[in-house]
Amino acid sequence: MPTATAAASTSDLHDPNSAAYKKARRRHLKAARSRQHAEHETDWTPFRAAEKKYKARFPPPDLSDVLDLATLNTSRAEEVLRGAWHGRADAVAYREIELNGDNDAGPSTGRRAYIFPDIPGLVLLPSFVDPEGQRRLVRWALCEQACHPNETNLDTHYVLPESGLWNKYIRIRKEECEDESVQPRAALYSSPTESAAAEAPGPRRLVSNEPASKENYDTLSSTPKPPAAPSPSVQPLRVSALVPRLRWANIGWSYHWGTKQYDFSKGKGTIDQGVRSVCKRAVRAVRWDRVFEDDNSTAGDWGEDGPDWDSWHETYEPDAGIVNFYQTKDTLMAHVDRSEVCATSPLVSVSYVLDLVPGHLNLSAESDSLGCAAVFLIGGLTREVKPTAILLRSGDAVIMSGPACRRAYHGVPRVLEGTLPPHLESGTDGDWAVYEEYLRNSRINVNVRQVFQRGFDPTAPTRHAGDT
């Protein structure tokens, strides 16, 4: 089981006299030599340059131009020291705004939101989930979301345990029974050609998709969305070896990763009442008049109905999302989430608190990252815009909204090793040890969107995306 030594060796990487540093340097020089002529960058852009900078394993990237608001908060001091990774509170221009007072948005005492003059519509809510809430969310994501009926990246290629991969894994650990082998799905196909177009399991692919809108909605929704074929080269793997290969789980409307459009024919999966209500609380907590007071986008940029942020407190209704599971070596490349017909309404990167007694939801907070911290990059409508770098730590939440931000390129070039906060270590809670072990090398993000305006049912025969 990885322990505090993992964090110590991460810090060693910042010390040029340490053995770990010297070894990483030798490796880096060797790799750089063999790469020298192979690299021909045709798509070099400011976004690409930033990704490359933060992805670099050696030398460890300098984070002094990464906004790190946790450095302002003395109660997060221990967390900030973890892994020797920290950014600066003055790295980026921002404004602090108050949240709406105690109302149905929940108590906001002491909480603040941060907005960015260069990216109108981006709202950062540091420490939005308290430590207990973060633990509950982690359990929720792994036990309840990464399993049937939700689709995960592993379902295409493996016949996953009925009870869910993680649930099986913790049972194996708890009962000390034998680690079971999970069979490849391709073995079920009678003809090898049936699985010929398969894609090997791996990170999310970049597909250039057409932005969804009311006008092209019918065409996009009727575009064929064939199921991805299982890879014929996948070998049986033990449950414990598959767990770190979990990358995403779909929630709500089913996202078709091959075309990067939603597949409405699959029907609307549930977005659990808990997550819906927390996202709504986040949107209600934000003073949108303050967020957009200096926005100089035109009414047309907002679509035919013009700016509608003043009604979000009532009209915002999340209906789709992705739970992302990152290992520390994983990255999420620059992309725009443009498959939603609602092109300006808030996308909430949220974690939530869930009372694990079934049927008894007890929600109090929300967040973006859980587990290790990460560098989040957000730029503009093209990759030519130099992105802003923000360090997201466990419990932080991000809202992307409005025309400038909702369709801005963004990505996660780095999950920072050794940054698991002290409150996610097991302490006296024996049950938590298996989660702690997973989280030492992982980050979980819950990314919730609104595809359609409230009340619209795409499966009703006579309706169009523009209907209300």
Ligand X SMILES: O=C(O)CCC(=O)C(=O)O
Q: Name the amino acid, one letter, at 416.
A: L
447 touches ligand X (CB under 6 A): yes
* The only residue of 115, 285, 322, 420 in contact with ligand X, by rule CB under 6 A: 322
Report in angstroms how near the CB of residue 129 gets to ligand X at its nearest.
14
Please identify which residue in the block is written with the tokens 């990483």: 24
Q: Choosing among Fe ion, ligand X, none, which partner's interface includes residue 445 (Cβ < 5 to 8 Å by kind)?
A: ligand X
The answer to the question of residue 151 lying near Fe ion (CB under 5 A) is: no
- Candidates 332, 363, 373, 408: give the one binding ligand X (CB under 6 A): 332
| By CB under 5 A, residue 317 contacts Fe ion | no
Q: Which of 295, 337, 396, 417 binds ligand X (CB under 6 A)?
A: 337
Q: Is 204 exposed, middle or buried (0-12, 13-18, 19+ CB in 10 A)?
A: middle
The binder of ligand X chosen from 99, 239, 378, 412 (CB under 6 A): 412
How many whole angstroms separate alpha carbon 231 and alpha carbon 212?
30
- Shortest distance, CB of residue 445 to ligand X, whole angstroms? 3
Cα separation values, 425 from 104, 163, 175, 372, 422, Å: 32, 26, 22, 12, 5
Answer yes or no: are the C-beta atoms of 426 and 436 closer than 8 Å. Answer: yes
Rounded Cα gap, residues 109 and 202, in angstroms? 42
- Residue 430's DSSP bridge partners are none
Does 254 participate in binding ligand X (rule CB under 6 A)? no
Question: Which amino acid, residue 204?
Answer: R
Give the span between the Cα atoms of 5 and 20, in whole angstroms: 12
Q: Which helix (H) or strand (E) holds 8?
A: helix 4-12
Residues in contact with ligand X, shown as a per-residue x/- string from 347 to 386 under the rule CB under 6 A: --x------------------x-------x----------
The answer to whether 328 contacts ligand X (rule: CB under 6 A) is no
Angle at 292 between CA 289 and CA 297, to 5 degrees: 145
Query: Residue 212 CB, nearest distance to Fe ion (Å)?
Result: 14
Nearer to ligand X by Cβ, of 232 and 413: the residue is 413
170 vs 446, beta carbon nearer ligand X: 446
Taking Cα atoms as reference points, which of 245, 177, 232 lies closest to residue 199? 232
Residue 325 interacting with ligand X (CB under 6 A): no
Question: Smallest distance, Å, CB 335 to Fe ion?
Answer: 6
Radius of gyration of the chain (CA): 22
Q: In angstroms, give the least distance from the CB of 2 to ligand X.
A: 22
Minimum gap (Å) between residue 239 Cβ and ligand X? 25
409 binds ligand X (CB under 6 A): no
- The nearer residue to Fe ion, 170 or 397, going by C-beta atoms, is 397
**Residue 79 binds Fe ion (CB under 5 A):** no
Residue 255 binds ligand X, judged by CB under 6 A: no
Burial class (CB in 10 A: 0-12, 13-18, 19+), 206: exposed
Least separation in angstroms between CB 339 and Fe ion:
10
CB 351 within 8 A of CB 282: no
Which two three-digit tokens encode residue 288? 């949108």
Among 330, 337, 366, 436, interactor with Fe ion by CB under 5 A: 337
Helix axes 19-35, 4-12, angle to 10 degrees: 60
Binds ligand X (CB under 6 A): choice among 168, 410, 414, 440 = 410
Report the largest interatomic distance among the alpha carbons of the chain, rounded to a whole angstrom: 70
Give the 3-state secondary structure percentages of the chain, helix then strand then coil, rounded to 5: 30, 20, 50
Instruction: Tell me how many residues contact ligand X (CB under 6 A).
Output: 11
Structure tokens at 265: 């024919």
* Secondary element (H or E) of residue 321: strand 320-327
| Closer by beta carbon to Fe ion, 81 or else 385 | 385
Residue carrying structure tokens 């030798």: 26
**Nearest distance from C-beta of residue 337 to Fe ion, angstroms:** 4
Residue 445 makes contact with ligand X by CB under 6 A:
yes
Alpha helix positions (H), 367-455:
402-406, 433-439
User: What is the closest distance, in whole angstroms, from the C-beta atom of residue 338 to Fe ion in the complex?
Assistant: 10
Which one of the spans 96-104, 264-272, 336-344, 432-440 is the region binding Fe ion (CB under 5 A)?
Answer: 336-344
Q: At closest approach, how far in Å is the CB of 416 from ligand X? A: 13
Closer residue to Fe ion, CB minimum distance, 166 or 248: 248
Cβ–Cβ under 8 Å, residues 100 and 285:
yes
Angle at 408 between CA 44 and CA 289, to 5 degrees: 150
Binding mask 378-407 for Fe ion (x = CB under 5 A): ------------------------------
Distance in Å, CB of 52 to ligand X, minimum:
18
Closest residue to Fe ion using C-beta atoms: 337
Q: Strand 369-371 to strand 442-449: parallel, antiparallel, or no bridges (unpaired)?
A: antiparallel
Under the binding rule (CB under 6 A), the answer on residue 79 touching ligand X is: no
Q: Which residues bind Fe ion (CB under 5 A)?
A: 337
Q: Which residues bind ligand X (CB under 6 A)?
A: 322, 324, 332, 337, 349, 368, 376, 410, 412, 445, 447
